[in-house]
Chain A
Amino acid sequence: MSVQTNKSSSPAFYALMICLIIMAMGPIMLMLATSFKTNVDVNDVNVGSFFFTPTLRNYEAVLCNVLWYSPSSVDYCDPTFGRALGNSIFIALVSTAITLIIGCMAAYALVRFRFMGRGPISMTTLLMRMVPPAVLLVPVFGIWTFQYGLDGTYTGIILVYVAMNLPFVIWILQSFIVQVPIQLEEAAKMDGANPFQVFFMVVLPIIKPGLAAAAIFTFRIAWNEFLLGNALSGRGTRTVPVTIVNSITEYDIDWGVIMATGMLLAIPPVIFTFVASKQIITGMTAGAVKG
């Protein structure tokens, strides 16, 4: 990369780095540790934060209805979470897939074609990026319930999540499509490919890293979202964030169980981070850093 003139790798910088790593990981580690604690250990101030006898009973309580065995530590099995986990996975995966397909087609049209209405469409898409979910709460509730009849259905939630994520996906994929060498597309056209063949066989394979980044960001929003999921989901379609908030009462919190639930919700994004950190960083910087 660059010629570094100051090779000062003094221990102070490494100490700072380790400090930062501990600060970033600390709360997550604490959650992980607590999820393996019994309630007695959580409330006993003499039991250390990280040194205790670990137990799996919190996870067993949360996952009791999807486990292959019936855990002996659970007297009464509450199926809420297991069902919510299934809902979350389904909703997040389907809305990510739809957003990506629709989004990359739109991004391609905006980058590679000059046509009437291109300016306004591109402008509106950009503006939509800043709309907070809270602003959509009232209208989405009203329209979905009274006009579309989609409240409490998977379709309803997926529709909102796709719409919420589209502007961002279009925006981020544009910066990847611009970099595709146009000669490749022209060569394919010379060989007789129609625009759709050019798009699916030439452009898409090249922008795979961009698609990966966009997929991760979309999945993350759909997987983590609470507010609109809460307003739109019925008893059978509740997602994990909604069940978590519902199980928090003002005073009495079962910390062990709720931390286990939190860990399960955090696992997919954490895996993505470690598998694809490069794509995530590229995606994050694609819009802001041009250079």
Chain B
Amino acid sequence: MTTASKLNRLTPYFFLAPAVLLLIVALLYPIGYMIYASFLDWRPSQYISEAEFVGFRNYINLWNDEAFRESFGVTLKFAAVVVTLEMALGVGLALLLDRNLRGMAALRTIFILPMMIAPIVVGLMWRYMYHPTVGIFNRTLKNWGLEPIPWLSDGTWSFIAVVIADVWQWTPFIFILSLAALQSLPQSALEAAELDGASGWQKIWHIKLPLMMPVLIVALLLRLIDAFKVLEVVLVMTNGGPGLSTEILSLRIFRTAQEFQELGVAAAMSNYLLILLMLLTTIMFVYNKAVENRAARLRAAAQET
């Protein structure tokens, strides 16, 4: 083998080395470290080598901890509610507005804004709007002679308030993806349906939605994974309260580490969250592969004929 071809074989590794090194040092190693830390009784004042090894105690304690279970439930409920609302609104609006309207580009640009702004700032804006006296909602209610709403001081309302903020921020994501999917649909299928006299609803149910499905599933899973990452908006708006009504898991991890200084417990919580996300990602992976395989088969079949 000549030196030149040896070098050629090494080329991809030169290109990859910095990224792989960085991911190992700053991502993979920390995750391994976290798994180890979850078996310790560890405080931030100690070196990790001084921490006591407690086996599965953190996991078992958490499993039996009612507050943790409630927080887990809040997380699942939050993710389910926001993703359902965002899918319904986003897809619905995209179907409604997919008709060469003038100003569509402007709408899409403005729709990106909520996603680009810092979650901290989104939390601030909504906290201000939900303010009991100077907030715009209660001021409007008062002007109409209605009772003010205890937006952030009542458990149910504060959950609703947090959901509204997230829906405001992320419905545009689903909208933009759905619109892109709609505009790349094969025009022939829609024209054929029109010749057959299909109504608007029939076209949506039997042609548009099924053809959009691959994109919609990916969008749904991406949103679902992100919904479990939400932290700053809730931190600023309610800090998890009142009670545990909005204490989503990532916020609880933050508070367990920061306020209660129990790093081992926080690591065990992180692991529960990670396992949940692993499951979701695996589903997405398997699904993506299946779609790709089907597309490849269809292409092959088309070439044969």
Q: Give residues in A with beta carbon < 8 Å to B.
A: 1-9, 13-14, 16-17, 20-21, 23-25, 27-28, 30-31, 34, 42-43, 45, 49, 102-103, 105-106, 108-110, 112-113, 115, 118, 121, 124-143, 146, 159-160, 162-164, 166-167, 170, 195-196, 199, 220, 223-224, 226-227, 231, 241, 244-245, 248, 255, 258-259, 262, 265-266, 269-270, 272-274, 277, 280-281, 284-285, 287-289, 291
Contacts and interface: CB of A to CB of B under 8 A. Distances in A.
Q: Which of A2, A266, A272, A289 has most B Cβ within 10 Å? A: A289
A112 B11 CA distance: 11
Contact of B30 (A143, A167, A272, A291): A143
B244 interface: no
Given A20-B93, A108-B15, A146-B48, A265 B116 contact: no
Contacts of A143: 29-30, 33
A277 B109 contact: yes
A269 B112 CA distance: 10
Contacts of B305: none
Contacts of A280: 112, 116
A138 B257 contact: yes
B12 A244 contact: no
A145 to B, nearest CB: 8
Nearest to B140: A49
B209 interface: no
B101 interface: yes
B281 A245 contact: no
Given A137-B253, A245-B236, A259-B128, 16 more contacts: A17-B107, A31-B124, A106-B15, A109-B16, A121-B20, A126-B285, A129-B281, A130-B225, A142-B33, A224-B118, A224-B119, A244-B124, A266-B121, A269-B117, A270-B113, A287-B218
Interface on chain B toward A: helix, strand, loop, or mixed SS?
A: helix
Interface string B241-268: 0000000011101100110000100110
Nearest to A12: B96
Contacts of A113: 11-12, 15
Given A132-B250, A265-B118, A109 B101 contact: no
A218 B218 CA distance: 21
B23 A284 contact: no
A17 B257 contact: no
A270 B116 CA distance: 7
Interface in B96-141: 96-97, 99-114, 116-122, 124-126, 128-129, 133-134, 136, 139
B101 A14 contact: yes
A21 B112 CA distance: 11
Contact of A137 (B19, B22, B254, B285): B254
A289 B187 contact: no
Given A13-B99, A285-B177, A289-B181, A137 B257 contact: yes
B26 interface: yes
10 contacts: A1-B183, A27-B129, A105-B18, A134-B249, A137-B266, A139-B30, A163-B25, A195-B15, A255-B128, A289-B180
A166 B19 CA distance: 7
Contacts of A16: 96-97
Contacts of A134: 229, 231, 249-251, 253-254, 270, 273
A281 B108 contact: yes
Given A138-B257, A162-B22, A289-B215, A25 B120 contact: no
A71 B256 CA distance: 42
Contacts of B55: none
Interface string B32-73: 011001000000100110000000000000000000000000
B133 A45 contact: yes
Given A13-B97, A14-B101, A241-B118, A142 B37 contact: yes
B184 interface: yes
A65 to B, nearest CB: 22
Contacts of A159: 22, 25-26
The 3 closest A-B pairs by CB, nearest first: A163-B26, A106-B19, A134-B250
B85 interface: no
Contact of B125 (A27, A220, A281): A27
B160 interface: no
A259 B134 CA distance: 14
Contacts of A102: 18-19, 22
